[in-house]
Amino acid sequence: MLQFAKTRKLSFERSEPRNRLLLQKRQFFHSHRAQPMALEQVMSDRDSEDEVDDDVADFEDRRMLDDFVDVTKDEKQMMHLWNSFVRKQRVLADGHIPWACEAFSRLHGHDLVRAPALFWCWRLFMIKLWNHGLLDARTMNNCNIILEQFQNEGSDQMKS
């Protein structure tokens, strides 16, 4: 009986009038976004604890990466781009990595070819994925072909 009482969600309508009055006077804030919440949101059956706010996650990721002292600025930027991409695309399993690498190359190709250090960080990262058995040679080749296309587009634009 006690276990059931702990896990049951308290509804606003079923709460005691005294408790309801106390709750109405209080301001509640979202656990991830720190934004004010209406009482109806607080008392609803919908649990937002697992929500991910991309802006907050990006900020926390950058802050964590800034703490590394033995990593270059370009390596940190590469890690942040990858972490953000993986989180937004919900890359969850090892089998998703080949698709993710090709999609990442397409999405960030322009930026990668414009910044040689970032470009090499991406290639080294793909080699690490290959060393761990997460990426095959064909996918690495596909990613490099995608990046070469971006390089060719850039050199064609410079010529004209």
- On whether residue 75 sits in a domain, the answer given is yes
Residues 94 and 154 both lie in one domain = yes
Residues 71 and 142 both lie in one domain = yes
Which of these three, 51, 68, 95, is where a domain ends? 51
- On whether residue 2 sits in a domain, the answer given is no
Residue 131 has pLDDT above 80, yes or no: yes
Residue 9 has pLDDT above 50, yes or no: no
Residue 14 has pLDDT above 80, yes or no: no
Which of these three, 51, 67, 96, is where a domain ends? 51
Residues 74 and 139 both lie in one domain = yes
Q: What domain range is 46 assigned to?
A: 15-51
Tell me the pLDDT band of 49, cut-offs 50, 70 and 90: low
Report the alpha-carbon distance of residue 128 to residue 145 in Å, rounded. 19
Tell me the pLDDT band of 32, cut-offs 50, 70 and 90: low
Residues 69 and 148 both lie in one domain = yes
Residue 6 has pLDDT above 70, yes or no: no
Instruction: Give the residue among 29, 49, 52 at the shortest CA–CA distance from 39.
Output: 29
- Residues 94-110 have pLDDT tens digits of 889 999 999 999 999 99
Maximal C-alpha separation, the chain = 78
Residues 25 and 87 both lie in one domain = no
- Gyration radius of the chain over CA positions: 24
Residues 26 and 47 both lie in one domain = yes
- The reply to whether the predicted model has a pTM over 0.75 is no
pLDDT score at 103: 96
Instruction: Give the residue among 90, 88, 102, 89 at the shortest CA–CA distance from 147.
Output: 102
Listed range (10-19, 111-120, 133-142) with the worst mean pLDDT: 10-19
Q: How many domains does the chain have?
A: 2
Q: Give the pLDDT mean for 67-76.
A: 84
Residues 58 and 47 both lie in one domain = no
Query: DSSP class of residue 49?
Result: T
Residues 45 and 67 both lie in one domain = no
- On whether residue 131 sits in a domain, the answer given is yes
Please classify residue 78 by burial: count the beta carbons closer than 10 Å to its beta carbon, then call 0-12 exposed, 13-18 middle and 19+ buried.
Answer: buried
